[in-house]
Structure 1
Amino acid sequence: MPGSILGTSVRRVEDPELIRGHATYVDNIVPPGALHVVFVRSPLAHARLESVDATKAREAPGVVAVLTGDDLADVPDHRPFMVLNDACARPLLARGKVRFVGDMVAAVVATTTAEAVDAAELVEVDYDPLEPVVDPEAALADGAPLQFEDLGSNLAAGFRDPDDVRPLDGADVVVRARLVNQRLAVAPMEGNSVTAAPGGPDEPHDITVHVSTQMPHGLRGQVAEQWGWDLERVRVVAPHVGGGFGGKAGMAPEHAVVIETARRLGRVVTWTETRSENLTAMPHGRGQVQYAELGLRRDGTIVGLHARVVGDAGAYAGFGGALALGPTRNMAQGVYRIPSIAYDAAAVLTTTTPMGAFRGAGRPEAAAMLERMMDLAAAELDLDPAEIRRRNFLAPEDFPLTTVTGSLYDSGEYAKALDKALELAGYDELRAEQARRRDRGDRVVLGVGLAVYVEVTAGGGGAEYGKVSVDDDGGATVSVGTSAHGQGHATSFAMIVTDRLGIPMDQVRFVQSDTAVVPRGGGTGGSRSLQLAGSSVLVAADTVLERAREVVASALEASPDDVVVDDDGRLGVAGVPDRSMSWREVAVAAHEQGVELAEVRDESQQGATYPFGAHVSVVEVDLDTGRVTPVRHVAVDDCGRVLNPTLVAGQQHGGLAQGISQALWEGFSYDEDGNPTTGSFAAYLLPTAAEVPPFEAATTETPTPYNPLGAKGIGEAATVGSTPAVQNAVVDALAHLGVRHVDMPLTPDRVWRTVRDAEAGTVTDPWSEPPAFFATLPVRGSAGDPEAASVDV
């Protein structure tokens, strides 16, 4: 058997096609003659929709149709990726009301995009403005304007723990803070794009949909359910996808309108959103207000945590609001031994863009809350931030462990990751340099921030499709139900096949993201792909190898136990170099013997896996301007067994860039009338390579026992760890002024005002009393408690 390539850095096989301009994104492959859709969107955040007059638009040049909400009244309401509250249904096009700026009012269909844009200007809409409500806490105040009057409030879902759960009892010290995890735009490089082609009576599919999505099979299921088509009569194809990050996890309402238009007209119909549409209409991520109280003993050991969390659901009860109820609660214990946790949560409707998932989906929010509280506790008890963490870590021998909130942790060595991160960062010297600057009275101060996190991957469980087959030419084809959009799936799955069969990677073909070719799959989300699909590929390849050994044994008159794969990738008899067969010859022999060298597996695993890590952020803060300059970032992430260090490093780099960006720059905001104030890249600040600091990414390896690869997810891990490390670093830089907390994003203006107030002797208390509505939420498990599902995105 040749030496294993698993665990080695192998160059990505999918990149040449992308960097040479041969990629096939949806908008690149629109067939000639397709009709183009442009949406008329509401300029108001909240209004009665009195009338929509499309008469002039329908007469405009090139226009084939204009659809309004009334035209689509017979089509079922949109069913998003997850339904948080059925009482908040969203019509495909607005009827009766608009509920956020960007809500779709009409769809103009024309022979070109330019003609559709011109005609959209001719649609006359009569709005009767209503009072908006942008802030989720204000949305639950008495007298707040209601999104859905029949619901009776803006509470989409919520619960509280019973009053007899008292996690702070026995604490010597309690630290408290109100923390804001701001709303973010997903902002993938490629926005939403879809082309729908109706099938004829003699064609195998009623509809074929090319779409930029993370989950082709899930989207196929939504389409079939929406229109009542048999599943096998719907084909969904995801060509190259320019980023997803949770924002492309299901069928968008725009997708549904395009599909319905194609069905009605019997024509190919396409739509690709503009960047401003993407920023204002693709579901946003994060968006939580957290009231946290952490009780400790004088020696720094944790007694308990009480968290009250408001999740902004946006308009139509976007499922992102449910992240506060599910994943954030599930991960509230983090890496620590916390004996008691009380957790209350509310998902709240606002007149803003619906909320969805963004890289990490609820887990970064939990880590941000807990890691800020640990730093507040360290300051209160005059302990080093690293020391207070060490005193409370769960130990390796504690695993497997079920947390207070019900998560079953598989394995972890949290202190090992922290020690490595501190060593790489040169922690003691950083503290010494920080002290020297303070002693000199420097106006550019140094901050050092830590974060230790654990997150959940493949949290939705289930199985994943994987097929391995040997082709007649001696190569192999691997097919999977996941759907890559930058992660390197073609490389990692080919590595597994090469490792098991000895077939060179350049002879391994990769098939994904076409429901007509791959019969089933869960898609890509929640960092699930390698541990589930990879395990299916591994087991399928081993099964194919066993069949091949039988074929070779029969052909060479040997025992199957003596057949091995040699260093040249040939199958032969051990110890007899001249008795071997190439895979091409094995394929011919298999046909002759009636043996199929192909295997399909749908492997599942015992449970979710729990990657973890430790990050160290180093920043400089100019006290005179408030500018924060990230200087260094050290990330040590543990995703179990590492199959390809290059792929892992790529995910770390992208993840920590997004996490650092949330801490320092990004934030989607609205004015008091519900108008987006960050609706373009001129105002919504994404970093370039010039802003992202030098980073050092390393790993530790703590395999999971839950799958044969020992692998955990890595796609979201660095995002989870980086954000609180940077926020802690900025607060640490200002700690000598008495500053205890600064909310994200840590913009120059916000930091400067904090410094100005602190130097004037005014330090803001990070705590304020939680709103009264928490006490009115139904008790968890009671008849009034709406079920809150964990969302695996």
Structure 2
Amino acid sequence: MVGSLLGTEVRRIEDPELLRGRGTFVANHHVDGVLHVGFARSPVAHALIRSIDLTAAAAAPGIVAAYAAADLELPIPPPFLVLNPLCERPPLATDRVRFAGEPVAALVGETAAAVADALELVDVDYEPLPVAADPERALEPDAPQQFPELGSNVAGGERDPLGAGVLDGADVVVRARLENQRVAVVPMEGNAIIAIPGGEEREFDITVYLSTQMPHGARDGIAATFGWAPERIRVIAPHVGGGFGGKGGVTSEHAAVIAIARRLGRPARWIETRSENMQAMPHGRAQVQFAELGLKRDGTISGLRCRVIGDCGAYAGFGGLLAIATTRMMAQGVYRIPAISYDSVAALTNTTPVGAFRGAGRPEATAMLERLIDIAAAELDRDPVELRRQNFLAPEDFPHTTVVGTKYDSGDYDLPLTEALRLADYDGLRAEQARRIEAGEHLLLGIGVSTYVEITGGGDGEYAEVEVHDDGRATIKVGTSSHGQGHATSFAMIVADALGIPMESIDFVQSDTAAVPRGEGTGGSRSLQLGGSAVREASEQVLRRAKELAASRLEAAVEDIEPTGEGLGVAGVPAARVSWPELARAAAERDGALAEHADFRPGGATFPFGAHVSVVEVDTETGFVRPLRHVAVDDCGRVLNPLIVRGQQHGGVVQGMAQALWEQVTFDADGNPETATLTDYAIPSAADVPALEVSGTETPSPLNPLGAKGIGEAATIGATPAVQNAVVDALKHLGVRHIDMPATPERVWQAIQEGGSGTPWREPPAVFETLPVRGGGRPREADQAVV
């Protein structure tokens, strides 16, 4: 019997190709006769378009064609998720622009350089309109409106009937206005597309090479946009240099490039520049939260009231829906909260559309709740760890349905917290913090704790196929689409475990709609628990067929057949064996290839959880914050490959830390982007981040055969509030109760100067009182699909 690989550290098999410079990114793909597409983008955030003159640009050297919206007559791509169908976005702006960076014209040339030069010649007559760049300002009655026919900048929203009543009976109420600031996705590779039109002799009408997280979703989006049959469209996602939620669906630029390729009958290519990426790829987070937590004097939580603004940006983007759906779903977090009132409104602003970013609505919920817990601990003069423990849901509470109707599968929230505190030496850190304060040192120590739960693995399920060939090799085909997560390694481990075939003899196929018939792609930390479970089911089906073939050939009982590594054999009879090539040939002779597929559908979403401890040093003279340590203990259910899990934890912690300390997209009052390049937008380098201390606990999920939960976004969710809490913790003896993210030196220094000013609070916009009342107090079916 072959030993199991599952649960062991296995090096990623996909890395050597990338490390040796053999990546197959879209920009690397050579196509003869390809045309280059570039977009003229609006320099203003809100304006009527009076005219577009492309004459000079079209006549420039090397330019093949120039198009405005009226020239291409492009259909509108279906949005990734619909918030308000009245706020549709055309691929090229028509009568008005609604954010700086919106494409208004497309130029097509023989070279990228020719297109870049000609873009300077595009002449657009804009009539500027008033701008609403701030989501709170956009909700005021007199705010400039993006869609006057809508009557306001409210794209959607709803009000909880409980309202302030959830705080009745509380002895203490703490409240805060919290900004979960807008951040940029900043993948290493921006958007990229090559569209190759087909002819009558070709199998497909169009082939699209696309940097996407969801090839099949992109194929279906293209089909819906242009009214084509999905089977006549081929989408290939080669290597993808990061997605983080920013590469789902069909973008405006994608639609324009495809239409241009079809019209001109030549391949067309667009590779997004970094400045385009910063201005036009949907941003993440962008919530303003007015939150109130009621407690008894002994620290028991009695109620939570949330009023949350989701900034849609222009065109009612996905981000507003996250505030309404996913953030609400996770508002209870890891705590026993008997009553929750959650109101939400999605605000249209003249800024870059907001979409998904690592965690997509769940980090915002955790950040809000974890800040309130720390503020409450300071108000009650309690240790923030003990206040958390006092209010945790208990292991025996699971499976558990929260007050807002979210169904948690399994959990033991004190388990990772206990481990994180042990690894961090929490008591020792508190002693050092007290010593520095007593000594009057200007370098103060802050210890921040966060505990979290999140939702992963939503959606309809996932497809996989496993085939054993007559050369003894196996091939896996999956509907997920890796862009750095290690799918090739993880799924090969599952097949090797089931069939005993060595990993080096297993090939991996993904991200090609011609080779894989269907798939949901990658997002919401779903790949292992759904795609991996599908691979497991397909492997088990192959094994059952192979055992029947082997039993027949070896004249043994099926139940006595077991994998040997090179094939199957009879348990206890070393000489009685049949190889995988023999089995594949036998299957072909009997009833076809030794291949099986599975469409795994889960029993529900899973809920990873964990605890993080952040240690920072705050210079009271300058406000500078230096992270010293970060301990992350994340529970993602059963761990398949600890090495891959640690990699996800490292990446997640750094992105979470970056939001807490450095990253923020900003616009001026006129909607002009102030952080449109990496000169202005502060992402950390390796030198800014301490060595990370990551580990995990394992609480299996009962909802899939692997017992797995997601890990791709978990560490980001835990890291951000831990770091923010650490900064405030360093200064709480000075009366500081809250500092919004990012905790820049200026903000920290200002808080120190003001000292004792207490928790910032102002009443939420009056629009919350006008929203329709949410019915039933339970999540809509669409809420869970957001994940």
Tell me the TM-score normalized by structure 2.
0.98
Identify which of 734, 742, 750 aligns with 2:747.
750
Counterpart contact for 2:77–2:222, Cα < 8 Å: no
Measured after TM superposition, the shift of residue 78 of structure 1 is: 2.9
Q: Which amino acid aligns with 1:563?
A: I
Cα distance in 2 between the residues matched to 1:674 and 1:563: 69
Tell me the equivalent position of 1:622.
619
Which residues in structure 2 correspond to 1:552-701 (within 5 Å)? Answer: 552-566=550-564, 568-594=565-591, 596-701=593-698
Identify which of 514, 525, 543 aligns with 2:512.
514
Cα distance in 1 between the residues matched to 2:135 and 2:678: 25
Q: Which amino acid aligns with 2:172?
A: V
Measured after TM superposition, the shift of residue 787 of structure 1 is: 9.6
Percent identity, please. Answer: 63
Q: Within the alignment, does 1:148 sit opposite 2:147 as a pair?
A: yes
Deviates more, 1:198-207 or 1:48-57: 198-207
Q: Which amino acid aligns with 2:536?
A: L
Tell me the equivalent position of 1:291.
290
Cα distance in 1 between the residues matched to 2:783 and 2:410: 24
Which residues in structure 2 correspond to 1:299-310 (within 5 Å)? Answer: 299-310=298-309
Q: What SS class does the counterpart of residue 690 from structure 1 fall into?
A: helix
Q: What SS class does the counterpart of residue 574 from structure 2 fall into?
A: coil
Q: Which amino acid aligns with 2:5?
A: I
Tell me the equivalent position of 1:65.
65
Counterpart contact for 2:325–2:786, Cα < 8 Å: no
Tell me the equivalent position of 1:766.
760
Cα distance in 2 between the residues matched to 1:540 and 1:102: 46
Counterpart contact for 1:133–1:351, Cα < 8 Å: yes
Measured after TM superposition, the shift of residue 240 of structure 1 is: 0.2
Q: Which amino acid aligns with 1:607?
A: G
Tell me the equivalent position of 1:339.
338
Q: Which amino acid aligns with 2:207?
A: T
Deviations 1:166-188 (A, max 9, x none): 21111111000000000000000
Q: Which amino acid aligns with 1:395?
A: A
Q: Which amino acid aligns with 1:531?
A: Q
Q: What SS class does the counterpart of residue 579 from structure 1 fall into?
A: strand
Q: Which amino acid aligns with 2:489?
A: T
Deviations 1:537-577 (A, max 9, x none): 111111111111111111112221211113x4431111111
Q: Which amino acid aligns with 1:529?
A: S
Q: What SS class does the counterpart of residue 346 from structure 1 fall into?
A: strand
Counterpart contact for 1:284–1:353, Cα < 8 Å: yes
Which residues in structure 2 correspond to 1:353-372 (within 5 Å)? Answer: 353-372=352-371
Counterpart contact for 1:323–1:791, Cα < 8 Å: no
Identify which of 681, 699, 702 aligns with 1:702.
699
| Residues 5 and 787 (structure 1), Cα distance of their counterparts in 2 relative to 1, 3 Å cut | closer
Tell me the equivalent position of 2:489.
491
Cα distance in 1 between the residues matched to 2:164 and 2:396: 28
Q: What SS class does the counterpart of residue 71 from structure 1 fall into?
A: helix
Measured after TM superposition, the shift of residue 766 of structure 1 is: 1.6
Cα distance in 2 between the residues matched to 1:394 and 1:348: 34
Tell me the equivalent position of 1:778.
772
Deviations 1:474-508 (A, max 9, x none): 01101000000000000000000000000000000
Tell me the equivalent position of 1:256.
255
Cα distance in 2 between the residues matched to 1:78 and 1:462: 22
Measured after TM superposition, the shift of residue 165 of structure 1 is: 7.0
Tell me the equivalent position of 2:44.
44
Tell me the equivalent position of 2:424.
425
Q: Within the alignment, does 1:712 sit opposite 2:709 as a pair?
A: yes
Measured after TM superposition, the shift of residue 595 of structure 1 is: 5.3
Tell me the equivalent position of 1:475.
473
Q: Within the alignment, does 1:792 sit opposite 2:783 as a pair?
A: no
Cα distance in 1 between the residues matched to 2:7 and 2:144: 56
Deviations 1:636-662 (A, max 9, x none): 000000000000000000000000000
Deviations 1:289-336 (A, max 9, x none): 000000000111110100000000000111111100010000000000
Counterpart contact for 2:735–2:758, Cα < 8 Å: no
Counterpart contact for 1:156–1:349, Cα < 8 Å: yes
Q: What SS class does the counterpart of residue 549 from structure 1 fall into?
A: helix
Counterpart contact for 1:555–1:589, Cα < 8 Å: no
Measured after TM superposition, the shift of residue 152 of structure 1 is: 0.5
Measured after TM superposition, the shift of residue 32 of structure 1 is: 2.5
Tell me the equivalent position of 2:408.
409
Counterpart contact for 1:525–1:792, Cα < 8 Å: no
Q: What SS class does the counterpart of residue 181 from structure 1 fall into?
A: strand
Cα distance in 1 between the residues matched to 2:225 and 2:747: 46
Counterpart contact for 2:175–2:759, Cα < 8 Å: no
Deviations 1:569-627 (A, max 9, x none): 43111111111122122222323333542111001111000000000000000000000
Deviations 1:198-249 (A, max 9, x none): 1101211111110000000001000001111111001100000000000001
Measured after TM superposition, the shift of residue 118 of structure 1 is: 1.1
Cα distance in 1 between the residues matched to 2:290 and 2:528: 36
Q: What SS class does the counterpart of residue 469 from structure 1 fall into?
A: strand
Q: Within the alignment, does 1:548 sit opposite 2:546 as a pair?
A: yes
Measured after TM superposition, the shift of residue 413 of structure 1 is: 0.5
Counterpart contact for 1:30–1:195, Cα < 8 Å: no
Q: Within the alignment, does 1:448 sit opposite 2:466 as a pair?
A: no
Cα distance in 2 between the residues matched to 1:161 and 1:740: 28
| Residues 332 and 655 (structure 1), Cα distance of their counterparts in 2 relative to 1, 3 Å cut | same
Cα distance in 2 between the residues matched to 1:79 and 1:693: 43
Structure 1 residue ranges without an equivalent (≥5):
none
Cα distance in 1 between the residues matched to 2:603 and 2:585: 38
Counterpart contact for 1:326–1:791, Cα < 8 Å: no
Counterpart contact for 1:476–1:509, Cα < 8 Å: yes
Tell me the equivalent position of 2:498.
500
Counterpart contact for 2:130–2:144, Cα < 8 Å: yes
Counterpart contact for 2:163–2:341, Cα < 8 Å: no
Counterpart contact for 1:487–1:647, Cα < 8 Å: yes
Counterpart contact for 1:147–1:350, Cα < 8 Å: yes
Q: Which amino acid aligns with 1:19?
A: L
Q: Which amino acid aligns with 1:362?
A: G
Cα distance in 2 between the residues matched to 1:573 and 1:781: 61
Tell me the equivalent position of 2:10.
10
Q: What SS class does the counterpart of residue 70 from structure 2 fall into?
A: coil
Which residues in structure 2 correspond to 1:173-188 (within 5 Å)? Answer: 173-188=172-187
Cα distance in 2 between the residues matched to 1:792 and 1:518: 24
Counterpart contact for 1:323–1:790, Cα < 8 Å: no
Which residues in structure 2 correspond to 1:714-729 (within 5 Å)? Answer: 714-729=711-726
Counterpart contact for 2:322–2:786, Cα < 8 Å: no
Tell me the TM-score normalized by structure 1.
0.98
Q: What SS class does the counterpart of residue 109 from structure 1 fall into?
A: strand
Q: What SS class does the counterpart of residue 575 from structure 2 fall into?
A: coil
Q: What SS class does the counterpart of residue 572 from structure 2 fall into?
A: coil
Q: What SS class does the counterpart of residue 70 from structure 1 fall into?
A: helix
Measured after TM superposition, the shift of residue 164 of structure 1 is: 6.4
Deviations 1:250-294 (A, max 9, x none): 111110100011111111000001000000100000000000000
Cα distance in 1 between the residues matched to 2:590 and 2:670: 74
Measured after TM superposition, the shift of residue 790 of structure 1 is: 4.6
Tell me the equivalent position of 1:110.
109
Cα distance in 2 between the residues matched to 1:485 and 1:663: 25
Q: Within the alignment, does 1:438 sit opposite 2:437 as a pair?
A: yes
Counterpart contact for 1:101–1:675, Cα < 8 Å: yes
Q: Which amino acid aligns with 1:66?
A: A
Q: Which amino acid aligns with 2:739?
A: V
Counterpart contact for 2:45–2:131, Cα < 8 Å: yes
Tell me the equivalent position of 1:529.
527
Counterpart contact for 2:77–2:221, Cα < 8 Å: no
Cα distance in 2 between the residues matched to 1:100 and 1:788: 28
Measured after TM superposition, the shift of residue 788 of structure 1 is: 6.7
Cα distance in 1 between the residues matched to 2:682 and 2:508: 37
